[in-house]
Structure 1
């Protein structure tokens, strides 16, 4: 049985999604992130699944044969924290994260409480580096 990806690009409105964010502060931060990601990537924001705002896309294929499409970078203003999505496996990410500000990180995600906790210039560098890493790792996208 084929594995069905949950996170696909949708036609849902990014602005409508942000407007549904309950916390006014998180909504304000989401708009700031939308501006930063749009300006830094040059890509139009698209919804991926019900809650991820993604920029650009790439097609990946793992040695296991599993393949699919994903946004190059993105974010999601979740209730607890803001999730920021960078390239999984980028060996240079840690160096920039050390200068990023207050955050926690998972495999592909970096979690922040609010924009005031992070360095925006480092965020822009992380976005740029992540896109370059993915384009080098998955050429032809």
Structure 2
């Protein structure tokens, strides 16, 4: 089960499929690198994935990459399967898929560090 509110939630303005693809979709091919740490660090750098804070580009604390064919992932955007939860006193709606996808979870301790200084990630394949 993959629920994609976190993906959509982080994109400012109206989210587009191109935004989702750039930040999160790997496709069916593997990423270059010998470890998940290398895969995360290299791909986030290559795709220039960062957050804007105080007019500066900082390391994004968490990012996920989804393995799967693009059409199956794109179909989630049109899914009617949703659920809503309360998070930080706000209601959040998640769009879900019953299809299973493999993901890589990338996390950094470099929070607040400038993207241009290099961000190092720890990657896991949950």
Q: Which interval holds the TM-score relative to the shorter structure?
A: under 0.3
TM-score (norm: length of structure 2)? 0.27
Structure (1 or 2) with the greater helix fraction? 1
Structure (1 or 2) with the greater strand fraction? 2
